[in-house]
Amino acid sequence: MIITPIELQKQKNDFTIVDIRSDQQRNEFPLKGIDTVIATEKGIHKISGKKVLVCQFGIVTEGIILENDMENTFSLLGGAQAWIEFQSDKEDLSQWSRQTVLPEIGIEGQKKLLNATVAIIGMGGLGCPAAQSLMSAGVGKLKLIDGDMVELSNLHRQPLYGVDDVNRLKVEVAKERLEQLNKNAVIESIDEYFNKENGLSIVRDSDIVIDATDNIQTRQLIDRFSKEANVPMVYGGLFRYEGQVAVLNVNGSPGYSDLFPDPPSNGETCEDAGVLGMLPGIIGNIQALEAVKLIVGMKHNLNGKLLIYDGLTHNTQIFQL
Amino acid sequence: MIKINIKCFSQVKYALDTDELRLELKNGTTSVELEKMIREKSKGKLDGISMRIAVNQKYIPNDIKLHDGDEVAFIPPVQGG
């Protein structure tokens, strides 16, 4: 069983709080605002009554409780890291404890995600998984842009929509589903197609723009406004079993016009060429991963590179632009 | 003669019905000449389809002379999302 920092704050007098961390961790990251007893893993069973176990990230204690089938014992979600953050900022980040444990993310990275705004242009095959993953990762604000209604033929690759949503606006349905993933996030639904009139204002007050459209003309327009507003663009595109991802326009790095400078040729859309639903799932998630890396500031990313993934062979190749 | 490995992506793959080709070419063959050969091989299936060329995993901005062992990728834009 787990308990979150907010719950523990309310119920702290009902539990014995057992800190099982090493001396070094306790000295470096002291727990404030709660009285604790110190125990080693082997000594926990000597402490009777309802108790909360605290380790550094909340992972070791969950394991101990499961392995020993312990009753009346809770693991503090996110561990000392989440409690300390909750005490200093009154923000409970324990929902993201499994990613804040990653040194590249940590509490600082999570706060950057919570303060970030990402615009997703197109809520189809790429936009649905990208939006889901970004919302789950804790991105504070999503702008969803699409004028389409849900069609029955969308459902196999657009997992935010169900049979009962057919003929409803995609951005409205998506907002309803995504709100379940993070109650504190803001979701702005814009039931319009991205165009010359609305484009700049959509891109300008975003930190990242995800290109999840299904046509090259709109990609070129996103590229233009992404350059103008100096907002990075995470491009994704599909052809049958093949997907492309690139991170573009990061402080003057190559853009879509460098990737494909020619006027649009008559390439086939997913509707025309056919697609298995898993492929946009994979590519949309790679786009979301790149967006998270950009927001957090990780040095390994696809800036200035084109990734091509083949769903038949699972070959992945990266080209330098 | 020089041996060149060719990687075909999206429409190029379907037009040539393969994702990889190995060709022996005359010394001094350039990337644009190779693109012409690829288009001829496709028997019109690549007409009207633009493509970028990468040599040894790097986009090339201009026509360049190819060398023995080079890997040349033909990458068209894709529309779907």
Residue type (1 letter), A179: E
Residue A42 scores a pLDDT above 90: no
Per the CB < 8 A criterion, the answer to whether A319 and B57 are in contact is yes
Q: Which residues of A touch B52 (CB under 8 A)?
A: 259-260
Q: What value does the mean pLDDT of chain A take?
A: 95
Whole-Å CA distances, B65 to A129, B33, B53, B56, B60: 42, 9, 13, 13, 11
What mean pLDDT comes out for the span A52-59?
95
Q: Which one is the CATH code of B2-75: 3.50.50.60, 3.40.50.620, 3.20.20.70, 3.10.20.30?
A: 3.10.20.30
Domains of chain B: which residue ranges? 2-75
Report how far residue A219's alpha carbon sits from residue A234's, in angstroms, rounded to the nearest whole number: 10
Inter-chain residue contact B81 with A321, CB threshold 8 Å: no
Which chain A residue is nearest to residue B55, measuring alpha carbons?
A319
At A168-191, the pLDDT tens digits run 999 999 999 999 999 999 999 999
- Using left for φ > 0, alpha for ψ between -120 and 50, and beta otherwise, residue A283 falls in alpha
Q: Which residues of B touch A269 (CB under 8 A)?
A: 79-81
Please tell me if residue B73 touches chain A, with a CB cutoff of 8 Å.
yes
Please tell me if residue B10 touches chain A, with a CB cutoff of 8 Å.
yes
Q: Which residues of B touch A318 (CB under 8 A)?
A: 57
Q: Which residues of A touch B49 (CB under 8 A)?
A: 265-267
Provide the pLDDT confidence category of residue A232 given band limits of 50, 70 and 90.
Answer: very high
DSSP assignment string, A131-145: HHHHHHTT-SEEEEE
Please tell me if residue A245 touches chain B, with a CB cutoff of 8 Å.
no
Closest-CA distance, A105 to chain B, in angstroms, reads: 29
Per the CB < 8 A criterion, the answer to whether A317 and B74 are in contact is no
Share of chain A above pLDDT 70, in %: 98
Closest-CA distance, A312 to chain B, in angstroms, reads: 11
What mean pLDDT comes out for the span A259-267?
76
Report how far residue A292's alpha carbon sits from residue A61's, in angstroms, rounded to the nearest whole number: 28
Q: Which of B56, B75, B70, B76 is nearest to B23 (CA)?
A: B70
Which chain B residue is nearest to residue A123, measuring alpha carbons?
B81
Backbone angles phi and psi of A211, in degrees to 5? -90, 105
Inter-chain residue contact A239 with B80, CB threshold 8 Å: yes
Helix/strand/coil for A120? strand
Please tell me if residue A241 touches chain B, with a CB cutoff of 8 Å.
no
pLDDT for position A263: 74
Provide the pLDDT confidence category of residue A79 given band limits of 50, 70 and 90.
Answer: very high
At B6-62, the pLDDT tens digits run 999 999 999 999 999 999 999 999 999 999 999 999 999 999 899 999 999 999 988
- Using left for φ > 0, alpha for ψ between -120 and 50, and beta otherwise, residue A184 falls in alpha
ipTM of predicted complex:
0.96
pLDDT for position B68: 97
Please tell me if residue A317 touches chain B, with a CB cutoff of 8 Å.
yes
Q: Which residues of B touch A313 (CB under 8 A)?
A: 19
Tokens 């709109």 correspond to A218
